[in-house]
């Protein structure tokens, strides 16, 4: 075992003394040492229930014949970081999390890891570490939140009943009291936000790839089932160590393709493009950006999930969960191995009945194409991403007038002050991985556009990214970004921008000579943040089309 390097032999007497100083009995020295990387924090609803899950993981590890050691991993709540300086830190924490898990596991020669996670950048950061370390690992996602409940059976959710409600209040659509009701009911307790936002999408994709146990991706945070999954995961990691089953045995190219198809079928978060690219890189799997689009054209959308649709995570779980989606996708899913021991096809076959009112069949899809599309054109030569499952039919093709803003706050002020009108294309730039730095999410302006009633008449494009809660004609991840001199930096107020999602095009209707003249005048901006971690991050982060990863070059 790896841990023998810190507990076997005469020369490890000091190491054993330190282990005994933590309380490890001599009788436990021959057992596998299992690290439990926990992102518990009082700051995030999705993580406040982890103390309970930690107990059940520990019970499982000891029941399975291992010895558990807990260590902490930081978490940022994207909702609370939204709309201010804090959002600069969200995506960069993904890299920190991967580095921290790697550092602790390598320094202490842990035999295996249980990765207890839940929210947006924490789950992909954990998976990146698992792929990089390639020691036995299993992921436990802490589960989604219940929907809020109101009178007459109304269900409340975080995004539509906070961010969009704020804009509806500003527009005079709802009253003070109605806004307060939304605020009080949108987040009724622990768990990740109720719809198919980034946290829940990544939990589902983790299960799809076989890195967590069945139902882990959809079982509610408050459920006894989640406790049982935590216990079973603790037992399973000891088995994985004994059988030497590693993440790269599970996270193959076929597993990533399955994850993409499930994401497309459910209409999940566009952030998964960034995260799957980054995880695949760590796993040594080639995953080109174009694959998302080619699979998207061959994968119909089978579910109508909040925020763009009607169903919540609790509905998806009852309808059949991830295995139900695999069953409905049928032959489009490749047969791959999972940590659970069953293959994806066996898991699909284990489901007797799927609620096809929630997870539709292939012959009765919600839409003919998957939820994510990759666009390109002279604004985005290296690609851009749109969550087309959240775009209404009238906005799938759109021509509008550019309104340019060099920061999210400037655009948000213009929207809330009523300066954005029907027919505009809001351009938010210098918010990419380098320019932000940190590639901030634009949930506040996109939700404000929807809340102001402009969702069918205004588009938004950015070199930043969007929350999984975003809906509407919002195109992000534009590459190259403005800070690197990408064409989005050359757009001017009054330019015409053409959006054609069916044709996968995003075009600026300005001739090449004019663009060349503008480029000759363009100067790279000064960094927005010049000190600390983010200044270092901006120097080494890559473009969105490669996953916005940090490199040593």
Catalytic residues: 467
CA distance 278 to 88: 18
Contact indicator for 284, 255 with CB cutoff of 8 Å: no
Give Dmax over CA atoms of the chain in angstroms.
Answer: 77
Phi, psi of 343, rounded to the nearest 5 degrees: -85, 170
- 547 by Cβ neighbours in 10 Å (0-12 / 13-18 / 19+) ranks as buried
Q: Do residues 167 and 451 make contact, with C-beta atoms less than 8 angstroms apart?
A: yes
Strands (E), 77-216: 112-117, 137-141, 148-149, 155-156
Distance from CA of residue 244 to its chain's centroid?
Answer: 29
Strands of 67-72's sheet in order across: 67-72, 33-38, 112-117, 137-141
- Residue 84 exposure: Cα atoms within 13 Å on the Cβ side: 5
Contacts 24+ apart (CB under 8 A), 163-166: 163/82, 163/443, 163/444, 163/447, 163/448, 163/451, 163/469, 164/447, 164/448, 164/450, 164/451, 165/451, 166/447, 166/448, 166/451
Q: Which residues of 422-439 are buried (b: 16+ CB within 10 A; e: fewer)?
A: eebbbbbbbbbbbbbbbb
- Spatial separation of the C-alpha atoms in residues 528 and 187, rounded to whole Å: 33
DSSP string spanning 369-419? S-SEEEEBSSS-TT-EEEEGGGS-GGGSEEEEEEEEESSHHHHHHHHHTT-
Contact between 136 and 112 under an 8 Å Cβ cutoff? The reply is yes
């Amino acid at each position: 075992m790896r841990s023998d390097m810190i507990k076997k032999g005469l020369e490890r007497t000091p190491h054993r003394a330190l282990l005994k100083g933590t309380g490890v009995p001599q009788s436990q020295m021959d057992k596998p040492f299992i690290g439990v990387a926990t992102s518990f924090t009082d700051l995030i609803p999705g993580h406040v229930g982890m103390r309970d899950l930690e107990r059940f993981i520990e019970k499982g590890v000891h029941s399975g014949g291992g010895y558990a050691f807990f260590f902490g991993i930081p978490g940022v709540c994207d909702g609370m970081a939204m709309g201010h300086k804090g959002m600069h830190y969200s995506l960069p924490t993904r890299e920190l999390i991967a580095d921290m898990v790697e550092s602790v596991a390598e320094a202490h020669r842990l035999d295996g890891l249980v990765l207890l996670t839940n929210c947006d950048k924490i789950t992909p950061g954990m998976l990146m570490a698992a792929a990089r370390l390639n020691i036995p690992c299993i992921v436990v996602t802490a589960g989604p939140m219940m929907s809020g409940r109101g009178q007459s059976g109304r269900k409340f959710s975080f995004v539509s009943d906070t961010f969009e409600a704020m804009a509806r209040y500003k527009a005079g659509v709802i009253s003070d009291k109605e806004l307060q009701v939304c605020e009080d009911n949108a987040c009724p307790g622990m768990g990740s936000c109720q719809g198919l936002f980034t946290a829940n999408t990544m939990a589902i994709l983790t299960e799809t790839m076989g890195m967590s146990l069945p139902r882990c991706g959809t079982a509610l945070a408050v459920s006894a089932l989640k406790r049982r999954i935590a216990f079973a995961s603790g037992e399973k990691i000891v088995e994985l160590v004994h059988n030497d089953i590693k993440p790269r045995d599970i996270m193959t190219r076929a597993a990533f393709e399955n994850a993409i198809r499930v994401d497309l079928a459910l209409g999940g978060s566009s952030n998964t493009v960034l995260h799957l690219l980054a995880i695949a890189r760590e796993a040594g799997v080639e995953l080109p950006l174009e694959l998302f689009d080619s699979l998207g054209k061959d994968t119909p959308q089978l579910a109508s999930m909040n925020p763009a649709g009607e169903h919540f995570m609790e509905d998806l779980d009852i309808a059949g969960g991830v295995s139900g989606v695999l069953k409905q996708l049928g032959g489009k899913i490749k047969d791959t191995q999972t940590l659970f021991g069953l293959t994806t096809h066996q898991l699909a076959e284990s489901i007797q009945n799927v609620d096809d009112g929630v997870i539709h069949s292939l012959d009765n899809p919600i839409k003919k194409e998957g939820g994510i599309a990759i666009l390109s054109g002279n604004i985005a030569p290296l690609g851009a991403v749109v969550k087309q499952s959240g775009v209404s039919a009238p906005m799938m093709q759109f021509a509008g007038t550019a309104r340019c803003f060099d920061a999210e706050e400037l655009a948000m002020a213009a929207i809330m002050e009523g300066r954005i009108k029907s027919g505009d294309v809001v351009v938010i730039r210098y918010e990419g991985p380098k320019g932000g730095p940190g590639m901030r999410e634009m949930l506040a302006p996109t939700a404000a556009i929807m809340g102001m009633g402009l969702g069918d008449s205004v588009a938004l494009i950015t070199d930043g990214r969007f929350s999984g809660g975003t809906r509407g004609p919002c195109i992000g991840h534009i590459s190259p970004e403005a800070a690197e001199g990408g064409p989005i930096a050359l757009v001017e107020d009054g330019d015409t921008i053409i959006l054609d999602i069916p044709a996968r095009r995003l075009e600026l209707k300005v001739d090449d000579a004019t663009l060349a003249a503008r480029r000759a005048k363009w100067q790279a901006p000064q960094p927005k943040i010049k000190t600390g971690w983010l200044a270092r991050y901006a120097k080494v982060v890559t473009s969105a089309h490669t996953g916005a990863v940090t490199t040593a070059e």
